[in-house]
Amino acid sequence: MPWVRLDDRFPSHRKVALLSDRAFRLHVSAICWCAENLTDGHISDRELPLVAHMRGVKATAKQLEDAGLWDRTDSGWVIHDYLDYNPSREQVTAERKKNAERQERFRRRRKGASRGSSDGSSNAASNAVTFDNGEVTGESKRGQTRHEDAMNAYGNFSLPEENPQVNESRNAVTNGAPTRPVPLSMADVGGSSTGSSAQSGQRPDGLAPIDADNFRVTDGMRRWAKRDGYSDLVDIDHATAQFVSHYRSTGARRSSWPDAWQKWIRDDAKKATDRQAGRHLRAVAGQTPEERGIF
């Protein structure tokens, strides 16, 4: 099953925080519904009642449209920036295909190993020398003993049973509990991503150092900063240069450097807001009562 990716500050975003409880529920339900059905964020008029069972669902959808969270289309709606936060149908299908191929390779290896063990057992048994009275002596006896020990050890060993779960309607292939998703870069709004998969020196655990030659601020990342008002408070290029310099000097590793960049920009914007508020308070404190309007 696909995962839904929500930023940890999603509920406090200014577009979301002003929603009614009914609209918030419909919006989150719609994101989950689109991920489950691989619609790439599209919701048709006919399918809207399936997204969330509530009264006044069309009027609630209009609230989300007015808030800029849904965009109206000829046949329904599309969740704004859905594919910037969640994988597309094509990406999910490709990942499921890779999982199915990987499991098939595992089955073939296990089947081949089972046949190899069976051939080795029969060869070991046929190489033992037994006399007419049934006695096995010398090297043959030692070989038989080693064979029996090996067979006992093999008999106590069991391969883990694989239990693939296949749902034909959703074409999902899983084996056990799904792992926690690695978030997509939410900064890449309609542009090419600079996620960790493109970074050099990536380790098997998914962590990689920042690479100043490969890491760059895409047009999508700039649109994200402008959309949420961060570019009004922070010099994006200067902040990015500080970001890269800091993490190169510390040698830190991250699974997604664009996500770390977003946090850096948010923190810088918060510091800038706090500085502005502090200057305002100091200016007010230096005014006379008449200047502050206190008579």
User: What is the token pair recorded at 6?
Assistant: 């929500």
How high is the pLDDT of residue 246? 85
Give the DSSP letter of residue 233. Answer: T
Condensed to tens digits (0 to 9), the pLDDT of residues 57-95 reads 999 999 999 999 999 999 999 998 888 888 888 888 888
Positive or negative: CA dihedral 59, 63, 65, 69? negative
Average pLDDT over residues 20-40: 93
Q: Is 50 exceeded by the pLDDT of residue 226?
A: yes
| Gap between the Cα atoms of 15 and 67, Å rounded | 6
Condensed to tens digits (0 to 9), the pLDDT of residues 91-148 reads 888 888 988 999 999 888 888 877 766 555 555 444 544 444 545 455 445 555 554 5
Minimal CA–CA distance to 260: which of 268, 273, 201, 189?
268
Assess contact for 143 and 126: CB atoms under 8 A. no
Q: Is 60 exceeded by the pLDDT of residue 258?
A: yes
Assess contact for 77 and 31: CB atoms under 8 A. no
φ, ψ (nearest 5 deg) of residue 224: -60, -45
Residue written as token pair 């999910």: 92
In sequence order, what are the beta bridge partners of 270?
Answer: none
Residues 6+ apart with CB under 8 A from 274: none
Segment holding 76, helix H or strand E: strand 76-79
